[in-house]
């Protein structure tokens, strides 16, 4: 028996003409429309519609006699009913590409289709939600305290998952105030407090008083000391790390946060530092007035001196006479003023023979030196401010660098990967760049040995970051030259490249690998910075920005030796050495080969030196191999020059 299709275009049956048809069937009203009845007895097929359940023989017998009072047939055979129903139309042929509608013409239909589908989908979800009952397979509860919130429900063909917010997320929605965390660089408690908020998923504003020095004055006014960390909820002082942990362990932290952080942050809360503004106030050098006068009045020109063409220089006697006339003083004071200018690196002897001597010598200003334009801490003019103390500069440099490696997202936790792009956009790096200008006329002779060691280790690692940001990672031999030899700072009046710092200063003026000459020639004014003895541990404190170099570290002057020992042990523990006891072979990093003279003359001396910084299995193996007297093979591994990104 064929099913009957109901034409949606037919008019609906009037309520007054509708008849209840027992056992299903088809009934016509007074307008001739067909009415379909539902078979109530067939429960299993209640969703499908079938007509004329009465056998055909019974229908045929009473078809002409069963007429109602209105003259309509009571039952209509199926064959006749199909005559009155619309016939199905064949599907329309597909349109060729040339017959397709334009985008403009089809857009209204597409929009209507999307709206219709969205409405249907929304209605289906709402109907399904309204029918959900606790305990059904489509209803899942995580706990009763959530007021029976649905976490997952299913609709035929559709799966909808509702993720409930965690307790921390709910708490954060209620917080409209600000958590302020005062910290310092290289402070264990500050690092722990930062980690506490990170694990809790709580947003906070960190103010490092080593970076934002004026914020340290505000902390002193609010708490009476500069001890850190200190935590504020809006304008209320909570205390340090111990108080924070105590509140968390007792379960009072969330209530405290709701109480103090519920409203918006008031104006009385600690001020957020303004980025792009320097805290330090620079003071002009007392000799700046004289220097500016000499720059304008002296005959500065190119001269042939000792068979060499020297550019942009002036004679010493001319300078003394100009000083005497400008200050209206005697010759003795004029000479003393000229010497002071040389000591503060306003000007230098053209051949570096002296600071300043009364006689027929030639000098030139720092901004006219041939190397100055290639220095990345020089801008359009030299820094004429009063030079800051060397110890202050070393301390400031280390604190800025510590703040960079400790900030979340700048450097990986293991210090092996560096995000140079994020560092380049940071306030800490901007302040470091400003600090480098103060290095132009710093007096490096005032450093203690440990201060000098820590200063140049930190400066080297900071310069590598600056070099990667400015010129990129080296990718070949030519790039290595530009990176390690041509990238320079003017420090204490003289140029310093990465190679100069490593091989000239830290390595006691020794040749760089594959180089034929020493960094400093006889009479170089930078020789006074060279230490009396080479410390081989420096090689494990210098990060060259490559994957095979030691991890990024910075050092403190008072503990630099112990920190270098720790760096060496860490390097050998991770990847600096591999020992095969059966083959009696030691696999070294190529750093040991390049700088072998720093570790020992003979291979055995090198192995004995390395043994001092090994631990665990490697220490036992190497000690046994050195003790039995048999030969040991040393193999140097390849160096990976790709960037530590």
Give the Cα separation of 233 and 204 in Å (integer): 10
pLDDT reported for residue 459: 98
pTM across the whole model: 0.74
**CB–CB of 201/172 below 8 Å?**
yes
CA angle, 77 then 83 then 84, to 5°: 95
Across residues 206-222, what is the average pLDDT? 94
- Residue 188: which H helix or E strand, with range? helix 188-200
**CB–CB of 465/320 below 8 Å?**
no
516 pLDDT more than 60: yes
Across residues 101-116, what is the average pLDDT? 56
How is residue 482 annotated by DSSP?
A: I
How is residue 348 annotated by DSSP?
A: E
pLDDT reported for residue 107: 52
Q: What is the pLDDT of residues 30-58, one digit of tens each?
A: 444 444 444 444 444 444 444 444 444 44
pLDDT reported for residue 51: 40
Which residues face 26 on adjacent strands? Answer: 36
Dmax of the chain from CA atoms?
147
Q: What is the pLDDT of residues 555-589, one digit of tens each?
A: 999 999 999 999 999 999 988 899 999 999 999 99
Q: What is the pLDDT of residues 287-317, one digit of tens each?
A: 999 999 999 999 999 999 999 999 999 999 9
Q: How many CB atoms lie within 10 A of CB 319?
A: 24
Q: What percent of the chain has pLDDT over 70?
A: 73
- Give the position of tokens 């209605």: 123
Q: 198-210: b or e for each residue (b if 16 or more CB lie within 10 Å)?
A: eebebebebbbbb
Give the Cα separation of 479 and 547 in Å (integer): 16
Cis peptide preceding 229, ω within 30 of 0: yes
Across residues 114-127, what is the average pLDDT? 64
Angstrom CA distances, 400 to 4, 211, 273, 338, 428, stand at: 84, 6, 16, 35, 6
3-state SS string over 495-555?
EEEHHHHHHHHHCCCCCCCCCCCCCCCCCCCCHHHCCCCCCHHHHHCCCCCECCCCCCCCC
Across residues 399-428, what is the average pLDDT? 93
3-state SS assignment for residue 441: coil
Angstrom CA distances, 624 to 319, 458, 569, 581, 617, stand at: 70, 37, 19, 9, 11
**CB–CB of 197/247 below 8 Å?**
no
**CB–CB of 529/451 below 8 Å?**
no
Q: What is the pLDDT of residues 468-499, one digit of tens each?
A: 999 998 876 678 888 999 999 999 999 999 99
Is residue 151 very low, low, confident or very high in pLDDT (cuts 50, 70, 90)?
A: low
User: What's the token pair of residue 451?
Assistant: 């201060």
Is residue 438 very low, low, confident or very high in pLDDT (cuts 50, 70, 90)?
A: very high
Give the Cα separation of 38 and 49 in Å (integer): 7
pLDDT reported for residue 155: 64
Give the Cα separation of 583 and 397 in Å (integer): 47
Task: Compute φ and ψ for 304, nearest 5 degrees.
Answer: -95, 110
């Amino acid at each position: 028996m064929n099913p009957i299709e109901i034409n949606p275009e037919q008019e609906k049956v009037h309520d007054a003409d509708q008849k209840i048809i027992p056992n299903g069937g088809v009934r016509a009203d007074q307008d001739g429309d067909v009415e379909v009845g539902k078979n109530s007895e067939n429960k299993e097929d209640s969703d499908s519609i079938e007509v004329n359940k009465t056998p055909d023989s019974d229908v045929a017998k009473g078809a002409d006699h069963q007429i109602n009072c209105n003259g309509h047939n009571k039952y209509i055979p199926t064959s006749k009913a199909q005559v009155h129903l619309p016939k199905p139309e064949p599907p329309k042929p597909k349109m060729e590409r040339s017959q397709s509608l334009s985008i403009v013409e089809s857009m209204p239909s597409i929009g209507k289709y999307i709206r219709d589908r969205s409405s249907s989908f929304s209605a289906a979800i709402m109907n399904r939600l309204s029918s959900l009952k606790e305990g059904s397979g489509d209803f899942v509860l995580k706990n009763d305290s959530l007021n029976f919130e649905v976490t997952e429900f299913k609709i035929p063909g559709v799966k909808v998952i509702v993720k409930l917010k965690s307790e921390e997320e709910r708490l954060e929605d209620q917080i409209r105030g600000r958590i302020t965390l005062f910290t310092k660089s290289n402070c264990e408690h500050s690092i722990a407090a930062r980690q506490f908020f990170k694990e809790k998923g709580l947003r906070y504003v960190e103010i490092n008083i080593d970076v934002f020095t004026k914020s340290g004055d505000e902390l002193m006014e609010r708490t009476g000391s500069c001890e850190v960390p200190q935590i504020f909820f809006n304008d209320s002082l909570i205390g340090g790390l111990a108080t924070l942990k105590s509140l968390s362990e007792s379960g009072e932290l969330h209530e405290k946060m709701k109480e103090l952080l519920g409203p918006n942050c008031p104006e009385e809360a600690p001020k957020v530092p303004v980025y792009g503004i320097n805290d330090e106030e620079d003071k002009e050098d007392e000799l700046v007035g004289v220097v500016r006068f000499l720059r304008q009045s002296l005959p500065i020109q190119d001269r042939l001196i000792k068979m060499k063409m020297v550019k942009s220089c002036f004679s010493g006697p001319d300078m003394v006479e100009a000083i005497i006339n400008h200050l209206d003083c005697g010759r003795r004071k004029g000479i003393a003023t000229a010497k002071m200018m040389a000591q503060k690196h306003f000007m230098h002897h053209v051949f570096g023979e002296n600071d300043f001597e009364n006689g027929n010598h030639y000098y030139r200003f720092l901004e006219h030196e041939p190397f100055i334009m290639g220095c990345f801490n020089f801008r359009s003019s030299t820094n004429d401010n009063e030079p800051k103390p060397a110890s202050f500069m070393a301390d400031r440099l280390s604190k800025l660098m510590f703040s960079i490696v400790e900030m979340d997202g700048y450097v990986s936790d293991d210090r092996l990967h560096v995000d140079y792009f994020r560092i380049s956009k940071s306030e800490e790096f901007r302040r470091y760049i400003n600090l480098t200008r103060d290095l132009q006329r710093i007096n490096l002779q005032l450093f203690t040995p440990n201060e000098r060691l820590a200063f140049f280790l930190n400066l080297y690692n900071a310069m590598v970051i600056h070099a990667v940001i400015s010129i990129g990672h080296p990718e070949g031999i030519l790039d290595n030259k530009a990176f390690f030899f041509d990238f320079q700072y003017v420090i204490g009046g003289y140029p310093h490249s990465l190679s100069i710092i490593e091989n000239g200063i830290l390595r006691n003026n020794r040749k760089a690998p594959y180089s034929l000459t020493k960094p400093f020639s006889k009479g170089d004014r930078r020789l006074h910075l060279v230490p009396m003895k080479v410390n081989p541990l420096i090689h494990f404190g210098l990060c060259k920005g490559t994957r095979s170099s030691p991890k990024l570290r910075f050092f403190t002057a008072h503990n630099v030796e112990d920190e270098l020992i720790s760096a060496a042990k860490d390097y050998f523990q991770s990847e600096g050495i591999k020992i095969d006891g059966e083959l009696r072979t030691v696999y070294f990093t190529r750093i040991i080969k390049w700088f072998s003279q720093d570790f020992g003359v003979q291979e055995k001396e090198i192995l004995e030196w390395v043994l001092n910084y090994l631990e665990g299995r490697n220490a036992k193996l190497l000690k046994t191999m050195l003790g039995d007297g048999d030969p040991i093979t040393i193999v140097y591994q390849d160096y990976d020059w790709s960037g530590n990104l």
